[in-house]
Structure formats: structure tokens, C-alpha cells
Amino acid sequence: MSPASSEFHVYDTTLRDGAQQEGLTLTVADKLAIARHLDDLGVGYIEGGWPGASPKDTEFFRLAQTELELRHATLAAFGSTRRVGKRAADDELVAALRDSMAPVVTLVAKSHALQVEKALRTTPEEGLAMLRDTVTHLREEGRRVFVDAEHFFDGYRYDPRYALEFVRVAAESGAEVVALCDTNGGLLPDELADTVAAVLEASSAKLGIHCHNDAGCAVANTLAAVAAGATHVQGTLNGYGERTGNADLVTIVANLELKKRMSLLEGTGLAEATRVAHAVSEITNIPPYARQPYVGSSAFTHKAGLHASAIKVDPDLYQHADPSLVGNDMRLLVSEMAGRASVELKGKELGYDLSGERMVVTRLTDRVKEMESRGYTFEAADASFELLLLEEVEGVRRSWFDIESWHVSVDSRSHEATVAEATVKVHAAGKRNVAIGEGNGPVNALDAGLRQALAAAYPVIETFELVDYKVRVVDVGNGTGTGALTRVLLTTANQSGEAWTTVGVGVNVIGASWEALVDGYSFGLLRAGVQPALLP
Amino acid sequence: MSPASSEFHVYDTTLRDGAQQEGLTLTVADKLAIARHLDDLGVGYIEGGWPGASPKDTEFFRLAQTELELRHATLAAFGSTRRVGKRAADDELVAALRDSMAPVVTLVAKSHALQVEKALRTTPEEGLAMLRDTVTHLREEGRRVFVDAEHFFDGYRYDPRYALEFVRVAAESGAEVVALCDTNGGLLPDELADTVAAVLEASSAKLGIHCHNDAGCAVANTLAAVAAGATHVQGTLNGYGERTGNADLVTIVANLELKKRMSLLEGTGLAEATRVAHAVSEITNIPPYARQPYVGSSAFTHKAGLHASAIKVDPDLYQHADPSLVGNDMRLLVSEMAGRASVELKGKELGYDLSGERMVVTRLTDRVKEMESRGYTFEAADASFELLLLEEVEGVRRSWFDIESWHVSVDSRSHEATVAEATVKVHAAGKRNVAIGEGNGPVNALDAGLRQALAAAYPVIETFELVDYKVRVVDVGNGTGTGALTRVLLTTANQSGEAWTTVGVGVNVIGASWEALVDGYSFGLLRAGVQPALLP
């Protein structure tokens, strides 16, 4: 009953349909980073965007050719069929798809007869011709072609004959997959499954499924389509997408792999799921949803009491799957945060074998828990975690410099540009260094000041560069508005392109930034093999 | 096919199973308030808690007798069957259920043979006797009795004979409903539906369904059980509950009423859904989930320019239900992908009819696009958008004050707490005002300074409060790290709880925050109907 993994497509559209989510805006660098995470997860296809329609997406596909070395996934470019009355070969949007150099092109086209008339203002026949011509042209250009049948289910309800003809035309023109889209997300599994079965009976096309969660059934709808014979599933990380979002790809795959015993992902697969889901929410800066199935921080969390004792008897009583299979942990809410296992695993990931170090693991776990309860996060801030780990292993924190004080001020006068100036006083290599930093903002000025104050003792610091800076207000129940805690994630890179992320937390965005800056420089010096040059 | 509303139970367990959610704690007053909202929504049954096991819940049922006048709903008390080897009439926990005076008692009991042995440490026969005795006793005491069959589906898989015997014993003893519980939430709809159908065939009991969302299928599982013949659905508001939560009751009911044409709620019903869902998240202090089906703030929100023009043609293309039926609204986001159509629709949403104003729409669209290319976003910042719209409509920007200059400084000395101080100089109502603001952070200090400088001219400003503050670095290709552009989204609220969001962008997090602050105060004054008091 389970198709071989090579025949079944796991197709991610986070970078295209997921990016339609309210509040979500991705830079080209964000997109490249997410694509790498998706490749780690082992999906088969990554839809990167719509080259030609968005300059950012055109740039993504251009950079992908040199900067994205995918081990498992194949890149797909999304776009529409040729315009009414044009030749596919002469259509500049079709040309942009071809020129993206993505091996797969996914064409969206309307399979709803009424909509072809209302929205495209053309005849149903021309709608089919647009589909046929564009698929044929791209096939001739050597591209694999998938087709997204927009509004398919509503279209099938309205005019099943036209909807089926659409699938036939797509397949006969050379489309490898026809993905049936529940575009407005309103279908329930029963009707959806009946329709997929009817289409499969009437055509020889390989069918895919693309669902939205407007009725709260995106995952179940996708599973129902697979049970009915679809062999290509589309979804997004964290269920990102317009309105209520797309089907959550990780939940779908976890259900199919763990409960239907299908083998779908390449490489490490599901064991990466929790890490990838959380890393991507750091990139999108959309807080992770604690109750998200499988990967949510609450997904395997139990409140003490009735369940806690039963769990000691048999963990499966209140947990439907082994959390380690998706890289998550069981948590008992006696304490706030995740356990020894993940701290140990994380250490291993960074190259520290802590398996024999019970005391170190205990101390480190306690500190992580305590800091997380104050708003810190180490999901993304590997470098801050490594400095903490090292401190617990060595019993003392490595320190390359000692801070006496810092001061920063920002000035704005009428309509002149705002200017910032910082004073930084540090002790390093036995000397007191005082430096002034200027910048267009306070963090910039502090960075310039700290860099200058340390450069004499550690010249390598001149090669470090701040490459990313994220701020989020975290609610740990202490206040509202600008009085709440602020968390800063700061990414620093060296000349060889290695990058590391540090974290700072405080009631003050500047104080939090300073903490992350200090960790960032310290870790850079550690990585560069520089010995602490503090005098005793 | 749809059962009459009197035969079908909508059973809410927010106050009992929902309260198991991580981070959720309800006072007795909270519980009473939520019960009133549930009654407004028109559910049939409200499970109030476990009297006897929790003093808070005992108190809730005591107060409910005098303070809760329910128009539609019936109150249910939750509790367990008598203890091993006791008589039901002598069991103090059973007595607490009886004494709660709730007309319905919902008894939870284990229907999984292995668990009766492992967790209760008694024989399967005694397990059934505990069920029989307790139901019989409470029936004799004049209570209606429902039974929650815990771990039913795993139990049925393990020993279907025992699970079916459990259902028969419950029904024969006088239980009105046997609710089958997928306690660990791991079932998928296909297996669940098969089991419900098999149980219905083997017994004459009225079946209920209680699902959790661990596999992301709680809603679909509930619908599958109803299709198989269950006539009692359990769920919670906002899908609150342990781990990934319980089935979201509003989504279930909306699907059944709007898509299966069943009539389930009393009174105003679904039209209250959005209001109730949001009011309850105020009580629980858990932020509403924007992507929640039907009631989420993003549930009927559209971003893409592509979609916006299609929506003008036919709103149903991208929305699966009429949002007004669940008390929600369609929203259009003004985004980088947007064009004239969405700007015009957005204006309409804010109460400005721009349909005849071609020039204004053109200028406004151009400005939005230009600002978005510099890192602004108006998706969330409705207030900044409205100020911009007003400026284009009136030809001049309304200005309540003029800023001469501001200055802020942040100090950190060794390990002392960081302090911030701001100086703000403004002209308003013909006077120059200079104020100093202090705070734990620079934005806080600037806010305090600006507020103080304006309070004399506009006393209403004292009632404004900053309630949310978000910072994000946006990449518009101008730089990296802390030299990149920073975007601040700031939400201000007034005393009546109205909130509005403004945006600021700059190379400097402080400058961007200042811009958003100024827009926030300006919009608050506009909303309060305050005339600009600038002297010419």
C-alpha cells in the first residue's frame, strides 16, 4: 500500500505559498537559509518562489545556482501559464521560469471553468490551450513540469467535465504531476477523498494534493487524498501560509511515516523536524506555536498530576508517538524546560561528548532551564550555548576582556539624520582601552566602539562582521509594551564565511544587544583559537 | 441525515480539559466568566471542572448555583468512578460530584483492559463493577450521567471485547452518552471512523467523541466520528488543552453547521464565535492564534495583489465561508504584492470610499509601494496607513505637534543595571515644551519624555499605553548587520481597549521607534477626535 519513496513526492512550498502569510517577509538570504534547512529535513522538492513576478525570487534562483548545494531536494520555480492570446515562447513570464534554471517548473492554472471566464476573461478552450502550450514549451526546453490545478475542488463541483479535461490536457502535454488544490481551504475530507478517487479513475495522471487549513482539516484532507491515491503532497513548514495557513508538511510526513509506515524523507529526515521547525521560526521571526503537532514545545508536555504518575507506568498512555523520532522531547511541567537528553545531544552536535559527565550535564541543564525561564533561547544561539557549555566543563568562563563601562547616546535634531555615539571602556591584555564609536544607530556605535577598544589586543576582531540582527519582545509575564523583556539574536561572521549566533536578553534593547555583541566577539576569538590575553 | 438539534450534544470542556494546557490557570471568577461566554455561544453542555478533586472547582459549582444564570447550557461536573473495593455511596469523591448539584455528571473510566490492570491495579471485572455501581448510584440520586471512555481507541485495538463490554455496561446502567476518547490524540480519521461504526453496530448506546490534536487531526477525527454516527461532540474554546490541545469546538461546530447544514447551537450561535474566542483569550491571557480557523484574525485576510483583484470579482474565490456568519471580517493587507485594488479595498475597510478618487488611489498606491521598497510594511500598521491615506485625501498631513529635537542616552557601568534617559523638545498648542523621560530602556525613556512634553496640550495622551513592540531587521539591499534597516511595529491602546499599530523604519532602532511612537500618538489623537492645536 505504501508507494516506494522514489515515486512519492514531498513538495515544500514554504518559500512561495508560505510567504503569503500575514506578517511574513523573507529576504533572499532568509530564503537560502530556509532552503538549506528543508534539505536537511530531506524533502524531495523545494518551491523557491516566482521568478519574473518578484525580483527577489529571480535573485533567489540566480544565487541558488552557485550558493545552494542541495543534497536531497530538487528546486522548483513557480509561475503561471502563458497569457491569453500569446505564444508560450514569447511570454516573458514563461521565459523567466525557463531562465531560472530550476529543474522543475510548477505551473499554476485555473481548473475552474467559471473562473477562467470571470477572472481570466477568456474561453474555457483558451484556458486549456494556455495550459497545453506552456507545458509543451517548457518540456521542449528540458524542464520537468508539475501543474497546480487552482480551485480544483470547487471547479469539479461546478463543472466536473472541464476539471477532468484540465487534468487530461496537463498530463498529455507532459506534466509529471497534477496537484489538485483546495485553494480556499474549505473542503472536508469526505468530499475531497471522493473527488480524488473519481479523478484517478477518469485519468492516468499522477495526482498531487495542496490543502489549506481554513476548515481546520488541511492535514486530514492531505491524508485522505493520499489514501485515495495521491502520491505527491504539498505543504509548508510550520503550516505557514495565507489566512489559516497551508497544510503543515511536517505533521503530514510524520503521520505518514510513523502511522502509515511509509518512507518519505531522505537523509536524517524526521529526527531533524523539531530543530528545523524552530530554526525556521527564528528566521521568519514568527514565534513558534507551542501546540503545534509533533514539533511544538508543548507537543509532548505533561502537566504534573494524574498523568505524570501514569506516564511513569507507561509513557505511551499519554503520548501518541516517541518524541525522539521527530527530534522533540517529553517534558514534565514540574520544571519549565527541556531535559538532559537534549542538552547532551546538543553538546554532541557541537563536538563535546558529555555522555560520561553526569554532573556537567545536570549543571548545564539547570542553567539552560533557568535562563530560558528568563527569556533566553538557545535554539538558534549555538555560540552562546557553547560558551555556557565550556564554562560548565572548565568550571570558569573564558574571558578575553573585562568591561569597565559603556555609554551610548542618540541624537535627532529637527529633520537632520539621527546620529549615535558610544563610549566603551575595556581592559584587555593588561591594558585599559577607551574608544569612541560612531554609527547610524546605537548598536552600530557600540559595535564600532567595542571593536576599536579590542583591536589592539586582538587584531583578528577587525575581520569580524555583524551579518544579522533580530529583536523580539518576549513575554515572561513581567510587563507590557516597551517595558517587557527584549531578546536579541545577533549573527557574526568571519572572513571565511563561518557565522555564529549569540543571544542577549534584557528590559533594554541596547543592553540586550550589548550582551549578544560581547558573546559574539568572545565566540569569534574562541573559534579563531585566540588565547585569553587578560592579565591575572 | 442531520439529527435534530435536541438529540445532538455540543459539549464544552474548556473549564476542565482545556485548563490542562501549559501556561493556562483559571481562577473561579475566570471560570464563571468563560461559562457565560459559552452560554452566549449557545453550547448545550459546559463541563465546569472536577468538584472534590480541586477546591477551586468545588467552589465553582457552589457559586454557579447562585451566580450563573445559564440561558442555554446545562452544567456538567466531571469526576471518576468509585475507588476499587468501595461502595459508590460511600466514596467521598462520588459524593462531591453528587453534591455539586450539577444536573449532569460526566464520569471518566478506563475502557482499556490492560490499563485497568496496570494503572488501577485491579481486575477487568472490578473495573466494570466500578463503572456500573457509580452510574447506578448517581442515576438513583437523580443525576443525568455521561461517561468518558478513557483511552477507548487504544483499548479497542488491544481488546475490543472488553472495550465493547464497557460501553454496554455504561449504557445498561443508565449512562445517557458514552463518549469515546482518543486520549493520547494519535488516531487518524480512517481508523477512528471504523471503530465508531463498529461500536455503534455492537451496542445501542448514544456515542460521543472526545479528540486531541496530537496528529493535527482533532477536528477531522470529530467530523469522521459524527459521520459514523456519534451524536455528542466534545471540544474546547480555542482548542485549549494539554500537549497540542483538544479539538477546537468552534471549528467543529462551524464545519457542521455551515458545511453539513446541521443546526447545533442555541441563541445567536456562531455569529458570537469570533467575539467569544477573543474574549476568552483575554481571560486566559494566552494570545489569540492569528491562523485559527474561522475566528483567527488572519482567517479571512488576503495579501496577494493577484488575489485582491480576483476578490473584487468574486469574494468566494479565496474564502470558504462568509466571515460574518462567525462574527469575523474580511481584511486586506496592503503589501508589497499589492496594487490599486487592495489599496482601494483597504480604504473602504477603514471607512473611506475611494472608488471615485482615481488620483488619490494612484498617489497613495505609489507612496505605499515606494515606502515598502524602503522597508515599511502596512500589513499590520493600519494606523500608519490611515494617516498616510488621510494625508493624500486632504493634501496635507495632520500634525498635532512639531518636534524640535530629541536625545537619548544609555549607560552601563560594570555590573550595575543599565539606565536610560531622554530629552524631548516639542512645540504644541503654541508652546515649546521640554521634558525629560527616564526608563529602563531608550524607547521607554523616549516614550516617557514625549508623553510628558505633550500632556499639557493634549491631556488624553496620559490614557494611552504602549501594549506591544516588535522589531525586525529588514533587508532592502542596503547593508548588513546592525547597519541594515530596522523596522519597528508599535501597538498603542486607549482606555476603552481600542488598539492601533504604527510603523517606523530606519537604520537606527531608536529612530525607527521614535517614528512609530509619533505616529502612535498622532493616530490616538485623531481617533479621540482631538483637533490639531498647532499655532500657524
Q: Which residue has the higher pLDDT, A379 or A134?
A: A134
> Cell numbers 503530514 label which residue?
A252
Question: What torsion, rounded to 10 degrees, do the Cα atoms B263, B268, B273, B275 define?
Answer: 180
Residue type, B42: G
Residues in B 28-57 with any Cβ partner in A closer than 8 A = none
Taking the C-alpha atoms of residue A274 and residue A297, their distance in angstroms, rounded to an integer, is 9
Percent of chain B with pLDDT over 90: 62
| Cβ atoms A10, A44 nearer than 8 A | yes
Mode of pairing for the β-strands spanning B499-506 and A465-474: unpaired
Among chain B residues, CA nearest to A446 = B482
Does the pTM exceed 0.80?
no
Q: Mean pLDDT, to the nearest integer, of B256-273?
A: 94
Range scoring the smallest mean pLDDT among A108-112, A372-376, A506-510 = A372-376
**For A301, which of B22, B440, B483 is closest by C-beta distance?**
B22
CA–CA distance, B255 with B225 (Å, rounded to integer) = 14
The pLDDT of B267-276, averaged and rounded, is 91
Least confident of A183-197, A333-347, A463-477, B270-284: A333-347
Other CB atoms within a 10 A radius of the CB of residue B85 amount to 9
| 3-class DSSP assignment, residue A40 | helix
Q: Regarding beta strands A207-210 and A465-474, do their DSSP bridges make them parallel or antiparallel, or are they unpaired?
A: unpaired
The 10 Å CB-count burial string (b at 16+, else e) for B314-343 is eeebbbbbebeebbbebbbbbbbbbbbbbb
Tell whether the model's pLDDT for residue A342 goes beyond 70: no
Chain B, 188 to 247: residues with Cβ < 8 Å from chain A are: 188-190, 213-217, 219-221, 223-224, 227, 239, 242-245
Residue identified by cell 497551508 is A246
Tell me the three cell numbers of residue B497: 481597549
**CB within 8 Å: B259 and A186:** yes
The shortest CB-CB distance from B220 to any of A217, A414, A506 is to A217
Strand A419-428: give its sheet, edge to edge.
A431-439, A419-428, A402-413, B402-413, B419-428, B431-439
Which of B114, B508, B518 would you mutate first to test chain A, the one with the most A CBs within 10 A?
B508
CA distance A356 to chain B (A): 32
ipTM of the complex: 0.75
CA dist., res. A36 & res. A136, Å (int) = 31
Q: How confident is the model at residue A483 (pLDDT cuts 50, 70, 90)?
A: very low
Which chain A residues touch B451 with a CB distance below 8 Å? none
Which of the four pLDDT bands, split at 50, 70 and 90, describes residue A479? very low
- How many other β-carbons are positioned within 10 Å of the β-carbon of residue A147? 31
Q: Which of A224, A414, A469 sits opposite B404 (nearest CB)?
A: A414
Nearest chain A residue (CA) to B119: A310
For residues B57-84, give the mean pLDDT.
95
Contact A107, A96 (CB under 8 A): no
Nearest Cα of chain B lies from the Cα of A63 at a distance, in angstroms, of: 14
Report the share of chain B in percent with pLDDT over 70: 92
**Local confidence band at A341 (pLDDT 50, 70, 90 cut-offs):** low
Of A301, A482, A514, the CB nearest to B466: A482
Per-residue pLDDT, averaged over A17-40, amounts to 92
A328 contacts on B by Cβ (under 8 Å): none
Residues A211-261 have pLDDT tens digits of 999 999 999 999 999 999 999 999 999 999 999 999 999 999 999 999 999
Contact at CB, B507 and A441, closer than 8 angstroms: yes
Mutation site for B-interface testing, chosen from A57, A78, A320, A465 by largest number of B Cβ within 10 Å: A320
Quote the CA–CA distance of B31 and B35 in Å, as a whole number.
6
Which triple of cell numbers denotes residue A156?
469539479
Chain B residues within an 8 Å CB radius of A25: 336, 377, 474
Q: Where are the beta strands (DSSP E) in A290-430?
A: 301-302, 331-332, 402-413, 419-428
- For the cut 60, the answer to whether the pLDDT of residue A3 exceeds it is no
Residue of B nearest to A282 (CA): B472
Cell 451496542, residue located: B203
Q: Cβ contacts of residue A3 below 8 Å, gap of 6+?
A: A231, A262
Q: Do A414 and B406 touch (CB under 8 A)?
A: no
- For A473, the closest chain B residue by CA position comes to B470
Option in B290, B310, B509 nearest A119 (CB): B310
Nearest to A168 by CA among A145, A212, A191, A202: A202
Q: How far apart are CA A93 and CA B467, in angstroms?
A: 44
Q: Stretch A279-292: mean pLDDT, rounded?
A: 87
B179-216 tens-digit pLDDT: 999 999 999 999 999 999 999 999 989 999 999 999 99
Residues 6+ away with beta carbon under 8 Å from A411: A418, A419, A420, A421, B405, B406, B407
Q: Is A405 on the interface with B (CB under 8 A)?
A: yes
Give me chain A's average pLDDT, please: 88
Nearest beta carbon to residue B188 from set A255, A301, A491 = A255
Given a cut of 50, is residue A482 above it in pLDDT?
Answer: no
Amino acid at B517: L
Write down the residue that cell numbers 483499548 correspond to.
Answer: B155
Grouping H, G, I as helix, E, B as strand and the rest as coil, residue B180 is strand
How many Å apart are CA A224 and CA A201, to the nearest integer?
16
Q: Is B380 on the interface with A (CB under 8 A)?
A: yes
**pLDDT given at position B3:** 36
Q: Is the pLDDT reported for residue A334 higher than 60?
A: no
Q: How far is CA B429 from the centre of its chain?
A: 43
Indicate the residue of A54, A188, A409 with minimum beta-carbon distance to B223.
A188
Query: Under an 8 A CB cutoff, do A188 and B470 touch?
Result: no
| Separation of alpha carbons A112 and A110, rounded Å | 6
Nearest CA in chain A to B510: A441
According to DSSP, the β-strands at A465-474 and A485-493 are antiparallel
Nearest chain B residue to A404 by CA distance is B414
Query: Which residue is closest to B416 within chain A, CA to CA?
Result: A405
Q: Which of A186, A441, A473 faces B508 most closely, judged by CB atoms?
A: A441
Chain A, nearest residue to B117 by Cα: A313
Residues in chain B: 536
Instruction: With a cut of 70, say whether residue A197 has pLDDT above it.
Output: yes
Distance from CA of A392 to the nearest CA of B (A): 21
In the predicted structure, residue A298 carries a pLDDT above the cut 50: yes
| A:327-356 residues touching chain B, CB 8 A cutoff | 333
Nearest chain B Cα to A21, which residue?
B303
Listed by number, the residues of chain A in 91-120 with a beta carbon closer than 8 Å to a beta carbon of chain B are 115, 118-119
Distance CA(A246)–CA(A248), nearest Å, equals 6
Partner residue opposite A411 with nearest CB, options B23, B407, B507: B407
Answer yes or no: are the C-beta atoms of B32 and B75 closer than 8 Å.
Answer: no
Residue A488's DSSP bridge partners are A471, A504
Chain A nearest-CA distance from B282, in A, is: 14
User: Which residue in chain A is spatially nearest to B246 when comparing CA positions?
Assistant: A291
Give the CA-trace dihedral at A371, A377, A379, A384, to 10 degrees: -70
Q: Do A470 and B475 touch (CB under 8 A)?
A: no
Residues A370 and B504: their CA atoms lie apart, in Å, by: 34
In chain B, which residues have their Cβ closer than 8 Å to the Cβ of A483?
439-441, 444
CB contact under 8 A, B320 and A414: no
Residue A84 pLDDT more than 60? Answer: yes
Residues of A with Cβ-Cβ distance to B372 under 8 angstroms:
none
Cα→Cα distances A303→A311, A315, A332, B103, B242, Å: 11, 14, 6, 29, 8
CA of A402, closest CA in chain B: separation in Å?
A: 9
| CB < 8 Å from B in window 278-307 of A | 285, 289-294, 296, 298-303, 307
Q: Is residue A95 predicted with pLDDT exceeding 90?
A: yes
**B 412-441: CB under 8 A from A:** 412-414, 418, 420, 439-441
Distance between A353 CA and the closest CA of chain B, angstroms: 31
Report, as an integer, the average pLDDT of A86-94: 94
A–B CB contacts, 8 A cutoff, strictly below: 357
Instruction: Tell whether B399 is within 8 A of chain A (Cβ).
Output: no
Tally Cβ neighbours within 10 Å of residue A480: 15
Can you list the domains of chain B with their CATH numbers?
Answer: 9-284 (3.20.20.70), 301-373 (no CATH), 402-527 (3.30.160.270)
What whole-number distance in Å separates Cα of residue A36 and Cα of residue A71? 9
Cβ of A298 within 8 Å of Cβ of B22? The answer is yes
Residue (of A147, A140, A243, A122) closest to A203 by Cα position: A147
- Our CA-based measurement puts residue B413 at a distance from the nearest CA of chain A, in whole angstroms, of 4
Give, as one character, the DSSP assignment of residue B178.
Answer: E
